[in-house]
Structure 1
Amino acid sequence: MSLTRSDVKKRSIPPMRKLFLTALTGLFCATTFAQTDSAAYYSDKGAQEWLKGRVLVAYKLFDSAYSYNKTDKKVVGDLAKALMALRRYPEARLRYLELEKLGDQSADTYNQLMTLSFNMRQFPEAVKYAQLLKGVDPSVKVAYYIGKAQYDDENYGEAIKYLNEAAKEDPSNAQVPYLVARAYADMNNNKLAIPYFIKALELEPKNTRWMYETALIYYAMNDDKNSLKYFELAIDNGIRQDNEFKENLAIAYLNNKQVDKGLAILEEMVQRRPADLTLLNMIAEANYDAKRYEAAIDYWDKMLELDKTNAPALYMIGMSYQKKGEKAKGQALCDKAIEMDPQLARNRQKMEMPGM
């Protein structure tokens, strides 16, 4: 039986296809081996430069190795390490995440992911990797990281729980009691916060910022004596006295009946902020409370110069004149202020009550 042209074609195709697939497979293998060889070459060169301390050069070589082989743990790990050294933290974190996906469950990888996630404010991830790190290395101390991550995530109950564990792991870490104090303060429980502020300052006695915060917490608790104590402690230790600090310090002096000290600070401040109505009113009220009525009138007058419609200032000028014994003049000014702002009549009713 003779073969037709069609039969020849049918019998010829399978050997040709097999030959093509064999060639393609060989080419793929050759390319893969070439890439692996290239990755190994750049990786070795990068390691040599790394040992010489030439971090940037090493990084470029590690990056070249990575471009040829993204599935080799050593290649990915070396690149992550170099990125960390160059402080390119977001990129480093991505490489460490790749390393984890490749099956790396080492303590170092989990530690890096915990730290990077925490510093990048990815708090749930920081907690996750802290717990994984603890799983592979039970001796590692991670309670502080978990506690701080929970605090920054405003999960105060869990924060306090882990920070108390952190205090056992490292009793010398002043940040631990400080963060517990902040957690209680943020929950408006100043009474529970105070012992932890004091403990933090025992561990870090030169921290003027914490002294200032402690002073403010005592102020919020109406404990004026201790509030002033910590204000002065902060000053003795060299705190930078900005306007906010000075204003609060002045209030602390006034609350402790140290009027001259408080007024001296406020009067110095008003020289730099002469149009500050709040500051002018504070000085006027302090003088009024100290029965220094002429001085009080002077400062409320300054407020009226800045705003002639300021009825409360006019009313208090009237009250000051009455306290001085010039009752008719004072009442006339109070009446005029009430015409400007009828709500001020309530103040007159309070003043007329027995004991006022």
Structure 2
Amino acid sequence: MRSRFDVVVIGAGPSGSSAAYRLAQKGFKTLLVEMESLPRTKSCAGMLPPKIRRAIKIPHHLVQRPIEGYMVFAPGESATIRFPHDSGYTVDRGSFDLWLAEEAVEAGSRLMQGTNVLGIKQAKRDTVVFTTSGRYYAKYVVGADGVRSRMRKSLGLHAPSKDQLAFTYQMVFEQDERIIDEIIGNYFHTHYDVSTVREGYLWVSPHRKRLFLGFGTPLGEVQITPRGIIRGFTELERVKLLIKDAKLIKEEAYLIPNSGPYEELGRGRILFVGDAGGFTHPFTGEGIYYAILSGQAAAEAISTHKLGDELTQLYEQIVEKYGLLRLRGLVEERKVKLRGNEAIRRYVQGLKILSTHTS
């Protein structure tokens, strides 16, 4: 007997679980396949902006720290940007991703963990998904398998080029909650300086009892060793005080897309979401919110798809309706606003003026 589903979703990150949740809610027999066992470690600063509330309702127990805004630093300039209405959050990605997958299961999806997808093959009626646990047949497939998507490669679609990727690196420290409260509080810190990070920034992301210090920059713009960049960052007085007597827990490096949604968002009855579709903000590197929206958009495309219609075209229309295609245009904005420290100072000055008008 064939293991047949309406939809197979590959990858139980925010985009995949969001797609599976929406599809199961709509009555689709959905299989959610994850190569690791949840909860798993995910390299991420864990910052969720206030607009995340438009997409999902996050339970209080997942919130590491409410985030009231950003503190932005540049050579000779700084600005405090307070969110005008609701706060953002920091979350632990392992716990957050597990909760999203459990929500998908609660809605009716089947979750299969510890299963690698080996390849896919589109037939006239079904798509066959080959895994280490056997073959699965589905009318639709959602690829949520990350920046190095094996599914894209299996279909012969382009892999992201060096120009479409950013390199990120961070150190995670355990620190006394009172020290975090006193020195940084509920603000996400961003630091711009082209002498260390080009077309990107350094960050401090405060959690309840942990600090995430990292940076992100286009892959081709890494000028010195990652540890050297962070070492220089920790020499700043405010950062030095923040991590004094803190315990280094781990160091991690990872790649993210940084050019907005890819031109090829699907093929046949297969759609790509999250990092596999390039859904990150090219300027800030923000990915969780856009991953969730892309998963919801894929679910809407599949649930409204009619025989004879081109699924990828329908998906792109919905992605545009969700405001996600505009991300492609932000690459040039990043290049202009972050091309040098003088341009960065003007950018931060603009943020300061904008914050006074919205506060």
TM-score range, shorter chain: under 0.3
Higher helix share: 1
TM-score (norm 2): 0.20
Higher strand share: 2
Task: Please tell me whether Structure 1 or Structure 2 has the larger radius of gyration of its CA atoms.
Answer: 1
